[in-house]
Amino acid sequence: MKLLLDRKKEYGVVLDGGGARGTYQIGAWKALKEAGIRIHAVAGTSVGALNGALICMDDLKKAQDIWKSMTFSKVMNVDDGWMEGLFEREHKVKDVLSQIWSVVTAGGIDVTPLKELIHELVDEEKIRQSGKEFYLLTFSLTDFKELDLGLEDIPEGRLEDFLLASAYLLGFKNEKMGGKRYIDGGVVNNVPLGSLVKRGCKDIIEIRIYGPGREPRVKLPEDAQIYRIGPRVRLGSILEFDGRKSRQNMKIGYYDAKRMLYGLEGLIYYIDQEHAEVWYENRTKHLSEIEKAELGLVLKLKPGVSDKLLYLAMLEAGAKLMKVPKYHIYTVDELREQVAKRYEEQADQTELPGFMHTLIRIERDSKMNLKGRNFLTLKDFTPEEITYLIDLAADLKEKKKKGIPVDHYRGKNVALIFEKTSTRTRCAFEVAAHDMGMGTTYLDPSGSQIGKKESIEDTARVLGRMFDGIEYRGYGQEIVEDLAKYAGVPVWNGLTNEYHPTQMLADMLTVREHLEHLKGVKFVYMGDARYNMGNSLMVTCAKLGMDFVACTSKKYFPNEELVDYCKKVAAGTGASITLTEDVAEGTKDADVIYTDVWVSMGEPDEVWAERLRDLMPYQVNKAAMANAKPTAIFMHCLPAFHDLKTKIGKEVYEKFGYSELEVTDEVFESEQSVVFDEAENRMHTIKAVMLATLGE
């Protein structure tokens, strides 16, 4: 997940009042700490002031422990059993009224326990020395004046008194402090945002619990940025000081903070949404507009919502119905798998609402029916779908070997857009298309106006009206995503800077042919793991339950966001993700050792010099292969610089003195090398992708 806040900045935190609901704020604080968010100022009122003091003390464990074990009698001089019965509605009305009357006649609820709790919790010296600014709000009844107090305004030794003063709810027995009476600051200002704004704080996090009280409007500077964490469910009464309720609210606060920090989607659930809009369009495209409108009414959605919002609403409603646990961060794929699994376990599915059946039908139709789907990255495909494509490729390969034609697509045509030229990719697409009876049109940089006179969007809309499918090989992933968005026909990624999905299918088919299985295979990638091959292999291994190892210098590790995504996927498939700079550790007992070229053509000499210097320790040589299993195979997506039989190879040797780069000729030409099986399998797997997405 990508953090939306800047760890380099320091933030002010605003904590409103809300009595027992305050435990929510401690859960949110935990998430902020875990994310590495730096807090330099805190402003709070009522329970928010007390929690603010705990934040300044920076003792999360202490705060959690006290709230987890919270009882009514730790705040008020009451009987816990009677109060629990009150909130469970076990008492008769006349008994409740009688108890209220006795409290009123006694001058209010005795909060001596709260005073003692504050004394037990608060370390004034630690707060004053924390380096954090701390402000609390209360209201002086004696002076009839709102007080916005910083530490410098509170006499030494009086902080506990003013924390209690800030929390004097109406109905509490109000005793004088320092000769004056106070009431809860939330009565006049329950959201002390202005307390930080007027002191120049511009990056502010509000942790809201929506207690009763006044919320004055605050004029913000133009460059101010407010981030709000707030509940979407009821947190209970402000007087419900119950340990069980506190633990629940703390959990809600924790996940709600993560929703804000990482931009999680979902109204009920916490969803790390990775799919492009087109993924949802493909999933719902078989629903008529009438069906979509009816589903929207049932799910209480606004008319005309996007396919994405419609699908997510169905998914969340289905998850709630199937009692999938809420307090967990799911990917869309994880959540729908949970829903589908629990649906299948239902003894009587006929009693379920219609939207539930529609959702499952969508899942079943899309699981192995890939017609109309784009093939842009394997992140968009489930393990079952990837395995299906590998199986289909193996079947098509067998049929070709036996001379059994699979030419159902006579009369269809595909466009092959190559902004980067390639031998294997072009030949694989052309042979695959011709085998299936299709015509092909090859468009290289000199043969089209793409990006020069015609935008990607316009190109997509033109070609989509002429061709039945479009392949793209070139630069940024956003280009192929735009093609897919506007084309209206399946688009296939032949390679971008970020992903190389067709190569992945060829690689996995090759591994399975030689090792007879995929799950549990230790797959080691050596070299520069930051781009399409490293990215794609890591995603694919995670999806298929394999043990992926990136063995390279730390500066060439894959980006953290993608590593986090793959680790999350791996947790559900039994895979593992390892990044190491140690060749001996990385290659030990490997089943597969894989590498790719280190430098792209056209890059300057200084880049060549840097890469060669950094990556030469990660060359795949005899020693690396010897450290792997005896049955290990060597793989390379080609072309490979393993000798001096190429123009570029000779130039590199003349400039830098290396006759072999990412792999030695000895390994490349060894019996363990399966590189030409991979090259052949590109064609069979590409044929499978086209057949599956075009449909029979």
Pick the catalytic residue from 272, 307, 333, 596.
596
CA distances from 428 to 546, 637, 678 (A): 27, 13, 11
Q: What is the pLDDT of residues 659-684, one digit of tens each?
A: 999 999 999 999 999 999 999 999 99
Average pLDDT over residues 132-152: 93
Confidence of residue 55 (pLDDT cuts 50, 70, 90): very high
Known catalytic residue at 596: yes
Known catalytic residue at 427: no
pLDDT for 508 beyond 90:
yes
Pick the catalytic residue from 208, 500, 530, 611.
500
Give residue 286's pLDDT.
Answer: 81
Average pLDDT over residues 345-363: 88
Q: What is the pLDDT of residues 407-466, one digit of tens each?
A: 989 999 999 999 998 999 999 999 999 999 999 999 988 777 676 778 889 999 999 999
Pick the catalytic residue from 503, 528, 547, 642.
503
Own/partner pairs, 309-314, CB within 8 angstroms, 24+ separation = 310/280, 310/284, 311/280, 311/283, 311/284, 311/362, 312/265, 312/266, 312/271, 312/273, 312/280, 313/267, 314/355, 314/358, 314/359, 314/362
- Tell me which of 92-96, 255-259, 626-630, 662-666 is least confident: 92-96
Give residue 109's pLDDT.
Answer: 81
Q: What is the pLDDT of residues 116-128, one digit of tens each?
A: 899 988 999 999 9
Confidence of residue 184 (pLDDT cuts 50, 70, 90): confident
State the Cα–Cα distance between residues 373 and 370, nearest whole angstrom.
Answer: 5
Q: How many CB atoms lie within 10 A of CB 217?
A: 7
Pick the catalytic residue from 283, 637, 642, 672.
637
Give residue 631's pLDDT.
Answer: 97
Tokens 């289905």 belong to 318
pLDDT for 10 beyond 80:
yes
Give residue 276's pLDDT.
Answer: 74
pLDDT for 190 beyond 90:
yes
Confidence of residue 696 (pLDDT cuts 50, 70, 90): low
Known catalytic residue at 682: yes
The conformational region for residue 527 under phi > 0 = left, psi -120 to 50 = alpha, else beta, is left
Give residue 28's pLDDT.
Answer: 97
Pick the catalytic residue from 373, 473, 611, 642.
473
This prediction has a pTM of 0.61
Known catalytic residue at 408: no
Tokens 């011709």 belong to 434
For residue 223, what are its two tokens?
């460059």
3-state DSSP: the chain helix, strand, coil percent, rounded to 5? 50, 15, 35
Known catalytic residue at 357: no
Give residue 445's pLDDT.
Answer: 80
Contact 543/381 with Cβ under 8 angstroms?
yes
Known catalytic residue at 500: yes
Pick the catalytic residue from 208, 373, 424, 682.
682
Give the percent of the chain with pLDDT over 90: 71
Average pLDDT over residues 31-59: 95
Residues with Cβ within 8 Å of residue 503, at least 6 apart in sequence: 495, 533, 536, 637, 682
Confidence of residue 584 (pLDDT cuts 50, 70, 90): very high
Q: What is the pLDDT of residues 275-308, one digit of tens each?
A: 777 778 878 888 889 999 999 999 999 998 999 9
- Give the chain's mean pLDDT: 92
